[in-house]
Chains A and B, each alone.
Chain A
Amino acid sequence: MPIQTFGPSGPTVIGPAALLQAKAITKRFGATLALDALDLDIADGEFFALLGGSGSGKSTLLRIMAGFETPDSGRLLLDGADIAATPPWARPVNMMFQSYALFPHLSVADNVAYGLRRAGVAKAETGARVAAALAMVGLAGFDRRKPHQLSGGQRQRVALARSLVMRPRLLLLDEPLGALDAGLRERTGFELRALQRETGAAFVMVTHDQEEALALADRVAVLDGGRIAQRGAPRAIYERPASRFVARFLGAANVLEGRAADGAFDSAEAGATFTDIPAGTVALALRPERLRILPPGADEPNTAPGTVEDAAFRGDDTLLLIRMAGGALLRVAHAEEDGAPPERGAAVLVAWDADDVVPLAS
């Protein structure tokens, strides 16, 4: 159902109904512009990832959603009501902190019950909900432990239970897997997704880890310099990055500079000309795993000559650094099933499918 709001320019219809809407949010810290007129919609029940490097503004945006920072300008609408000035304790939004922020003097059960007690929930109901929340994260029977008696993974679950027990419609997660060791991350990631489906709450996760964002989220927004560089489904933005920044940030694509003219793109540094390229293209992206290596002299379209400068075995593939005739250095992931990788110093042809060439507009 569309929501009607009354802005300074009269009534405007926004919709379809989004749970949370950020409208032209700007935030400065001194001379630094952390968020630059940022717009964002979070739908009810979706898993959304804010992906960016340090200083991209992703954490500031999350803290504004939680109420720990107030935007300098712009509006933050929850179910259509502006909550930008609502203090954190009055927002129906909960957050899981990167450091977990468990209360050290309280037991696991008291930590989880903290929010319910503040809300004045009856004692019996509090007990039942705490037990259910702890069971949901697999910590039944840990009620009486203190936080310092738990492992990192267990602490993360307590933090999760403490937020989920409040039954928020919007749960904010600040680098939820950041403090876990590699082995636990994958499993916890799957569990997070299962919890999100089970509770039906919208999850907004901040992360600097592109694999984490792609693996967990329904939609990803890539942030750069306080603006959203691109947003969309993980597969869509991975396969069709819109800018050089997104292409490099997600999956470290090769970005080829050059000039577009008459439907073709001429890249001197790659020593190749690409056809069927739309006007306005400023660069091309080529994924390392979509490039193939052919012996020199092979008779195929869409190839360019180069020399293997270095090679690194990575288990399931070998990463080749190929110096192209025009000077560009391309990363090529050579899969194991394609046979032995070429030696260092070997002359090769780099080949691609026309479909895998992604034109970039900025």
Chain B
Amino acid sequence: MIGRLLVLLPVWAWLLVFVAAPAAILLAIALGEADSGIPPFRLAWSLAGFGMLVEDSYYLDALLTALRIAAMTAGCCLLIAYPMAMGIARAAPGRRVLLLAALMLPFWTGFLLRVGAWIGLLRDEGWINGVLISLGITDAPLPLLYTEGAMLVGMVHAYLPFAVLPLFAALVRLDPTLGEAAADLGARPAVAFVTVTLPATLPAAIAAFLLVFIPAAGEFVIPELMGPPEAQLVGRVLWQEFFQNRDWPVAAALAVALLVLLLVPIRLFQRLEAQS
């Protein structure tokens, strides 16, 4: 009994200090009132912060844009990750380790370094425009950087491994004779994928989608460094409210709203898991 307590104690301590307490503080700030001072808010039981979110469509737009970009990122990641995961799962065990290592390799370089590399590739004087101009395909540099496309490319690249890993884990466990049975019963490979492989790995696909979608929804760095200036994602707006406008209650209310919005798909996924 005491041993069990000792094992669980760090877990509960961790959850209390790093999850429950910050959430409580965040909620307290969201219910406070802005004030000029340090910290720039006063404790109060005010719904003004949340009221602002509803009144000014700017905040709602930022939330919806973030969710849209996150969904597009997760969708693109899924499309790329399925064939990758299938390739890794079907490789010989020795090669498999190598391919998984290659997948994780980018994590060994700094995140900002990778974003920087994309900027170097995409900017007006970058490599891609350089090649296009020297080949005579275009006269003036194409506006590649600071577009929604550039932002998506950066996000997909950053989050792709999170989609590949759960799909790989599911595909490598999938009985290979299932595909043979489908073929034997008249299914061409594409039909077999849609009717057998895809449904049998659906929980993993949802997990992969959420693992990308959730962090992507709050992403700040990539939209800031690669996105168009007018793309006001919730992460950027949060930053501005906290550090530029110093309106902590509104920023905190926005953060709480994002958290609640992201809890919905997580709960749905858990229900789905429990059913299957």
**Which residues of A are interface residues toward B (Cβ below 8 A)?**
66-68, 87-90, 93-95, 97, 99, 101-106, 114-115, 118-119, 162-163, 166
Q: Is the CB of A118 within 8 A of B177?
A: no
B181-202 residues with Cβ-Cβ distance < 8 A to A are 181-188, 191, 195-196, 199-200, 202
Q: Kindly list chain B residues whose C-beta atoms are within 8 Å of the C-beta of A162.
A: 181, 185
| Contacts A/B (CB < 8 Å), 18 sampled | A67-B184, A88-B183, A88-B184, A89-B184, A89-B187, A101-B178, A101-B180, A101-B181, A103-B196, A105-B199, A106-B199, A114-B185, A115-B185, A118-B185, A118-B186, A119-B186, A162-B185, A166-B185
Closest CB-CB distance, A311 to chain B, in whole Å? 45
List 9 tightest A-B contacts by C-beta distance, closest first. A115-B185, A118-B186, A101-B181, A101-B177, A88-B183, A105-B199, A89-B183, A95-B184, A89-B186
Q: Kindly list chain B residues whose C-beta atoms are within 8 Å of the C-beta of A67.
A: 183-184
**Interface flags, B165-180, vs A, CB<8A=1, else 0:** 0000000000101101
Q: Kindly list chain A residues whose C-beta atoms are within 8 Å of the C-beta of B191.
A: 118
**Which residue on chain A has the smallest CB distance to residue B176?**
A101
Q: Is the CB of A94 within 8 A of B200?
A: no
**Which residue on chain B has the smallest CB distance to residue A174?**
B177
Q: Kindly list chain A residues whose C-beta atoms are within 8 Å of the C-beta of B175.
A: 99, 101
Q: Once bound together, how far apart are the Cα atoms of A49 and B202, in whole Å? A: 39
Q: Kindly list chain A residues whose C-beta atoms are within 8 Å of the C-beta of B185.
A: 89, 94, 114-115, 118, 162, 166
B54-75 residues with Cβ-Cβ distance < 8 A to A are none
Q: Kindly list chain A residues whose C-beta atoms are within 8 Å of the C-beta of B181.
A: 95, 97, 101-103, 162
Quick one: given A88-B180, A89-B183, A114-B182, are A104 and B200 in contact (CB under 8 Å)?
A: yes
Quick one: given A101-B175, A101-B178, are A87 and B183 in contact (CB under 8 Å)?
A: yes
Q: Once bound together, how far apart are the Cα atoms of A197 and B149, in whole Å? A: 64
**Which residue on chain B has the smallest CB distance to residue A118?**
B186
Q: Kindly list chain B residues whose C-beta atoms are within 8 Å of the C-beta of A95.
A: 180-181, 184
Closest CB-CB distance, A108 to chain B, in whole Å? 14
Q: Once bound together, how far apart are the Cα atoms of A99 and B178, in whole Å? A: 9
Q: Is the CB of A68 within 8 A of B180?
A: yes
Q: Kindly list chain A residues whose C-beta atoms are within 8 Å of the C-beta of B182.
A: 103, 114
Seed contacts A66-B184, A166-B185; 12 additional CB < 8 Å A-B pairs: A67-B183, A88-B183, A89-B186, A94-B185, A95-B181, A99-B175, A101-B177, A103-B182, A103-B196, A118-B185, A118-B187, A166-B186
**Which residue on chain B has the smallest CB distance to residue A94?**
B184
Q: Kindly list chain B residues whose C-beta atoms are within 8 Å of the C-beta of A93.
A: 184
Q: Once bound together, how far apart are the Cα atoms of A119 and B182, in whole Å? A: 12
Closest CB-CB distance, A122 to chain B, in whole Å? 15
**Which residue on chain A has the smallest CB distance to residue B276?**
A105
Count contacts between A and B, CB distance < 8 Å.
Answer: 62
Most chain B CB neighbours (cut-off 10 Å) among A68, A101, A106, A115: A101
Q: Once bound together, how far apart are the Cα atoms of A166 and B186, in whole Å? A: 10
Q: Once bound together, how far apart are the Cα atoms of A90 and B186, in whole Å? A: 6
Q: Is the CB of B200 within 8 A of A105?
A: yes
Q: Once bound together, how far apart are the Cα atoms of A162 and B196, in whole Å? A: 15
Closest CB-CB distance, A269 to chain B, in whole Å? 47
Q: Is the CB of A97 within 8 A of B186?
A: no
Q: Kindly list chain A residues whose C-beta atoms are within 8 Å of the C-beta of B195.
A: 114
Q: Once bound together, how far apart are the Cα atoms of A252 and B195, in whole Å? A: 47
Q: Is the CB of A89 within 8 A of B196?
A: no
Q: Kindly list chain B residues whose C-beta atoms are within 8 Å of the C-beta of A104.
A: 178, 200
Q: Kindly list chain B residues whose C-beta atoms are within 8 Å of the C-beta of A118.
A: 185-187, 191
Closest CB-CB distance, B179 to chain A, in whole Å? 9
Closest CB-CB distance, A279 to chain B, in whole Å? 49
Q: Is the CB of A99 within 8 A of B184?
A: no
Closest CB-CB distance, B175 to chain A, in whole Å? 6
Q: Once bound together, how far apart are the Cα atoms of A332 and B181, in whole Å? A: 45
Q: Kindly list chain A residues whose C-beta atoms are within 8 Å of the C-beta of B177.
A: 97, 99, 101
**Which residue on chain B has the smallest CB distance to residue A162?**
B185
Closest CB-CB distance, A281 to chain B, in whole Å? 45
Closest CB-CB distance, A90 to chain B, in whole Å? 8
Closest CB-CB distance, A82 to chain B, in whole Å? 19
Q: Once bound together, how far apart are the Cα atoms of A42 and B191, in whole Å? A: 31
Closest CB-CB distance, A237 to chain B, in whole Å? 30
Q: Kindly list chain B residues whose C-beta atoms are within 8 Å of the C-beta of A166.
A: 185-186
Closest CB-CB distance, A130 to chain B, in whole Å? 13
Q: Kindly list chain B residues whose C-beta atoms are within 8 Å of the C-beta of A105.
A: 199-200, 202
Q: Kindly list chain B residues whose C-beta atoms are within 8 Å of the C-beta of A119.
A: 186
Q: Kindly list chain B residues whose C-beta atoms are within 8 Å of the C-beta of A97.
A: 177, 180-181
Q: Once bound together, how far apart are the Cα atoms of A93 and B191, in whole Å? A: 19
Q: Once bound together, how far apart are the Cα atoms of A163 and B177, in whole Å? A: 14
Q: Once bound together, how far apart are the Cα atoms of A63 and B186, in whole Å? A: 16
Closest CB-CB distance, A60 to chain B, in whole Å? 14
**Interface flags, B197-217, vs A, CB<8A=1, else 0:** 001101000000000000000
Q: Is the CB of B178 within 8 A of A89?
A: no
Q: Once bound together, how far apart are the Cα atoms of A93 and B182, in whole Å? A: 13
Q: Is the CB of A103 within 8 A of B178?
A: yes
Closest CB-CB distance, B235 to chain A, in whole Å? 37
Q: Once bound together, how far apart are the Cα atoms of A103 and B183, in whole Å? A: 12
Most chain B CB neighbours (cut-off 10 Å) among A95, A97, A103, A163: A103
Q: Kindly list chain A residues whose C-beta atoms are within 8 Å of the C-beta of B180.
A: 66, 68, 88, 95, 97, 101
Q: Kindly list chain B residues whose C-beta atoms are within 8 Å of the C-beta of A115.
A: 185-186
Q: Once bound together, how far apart are the Cα atoms of A66 and B188, in whole Å? A: 14
Q: Once bound together, how far apart are the Cα atoms of A23 and B241, in whole Å? A: 79
Q: Once bound together, how far apart are the Cα atoms of A33 and B74, in whole Å? A: 47
Closest CB-CB distance, A21 to chain B, in whole Å? 21
Closest CB-CB distance, A241 to chain B, in whole Å? 34
Quick one: given A97-B181, A101-B178, are A89 and B188 in contact (CB under 8 Å)?
A: yes
Q: Once bound together, how far apart are the Cα atoms of A93 and B196, in whole Å? A: 20
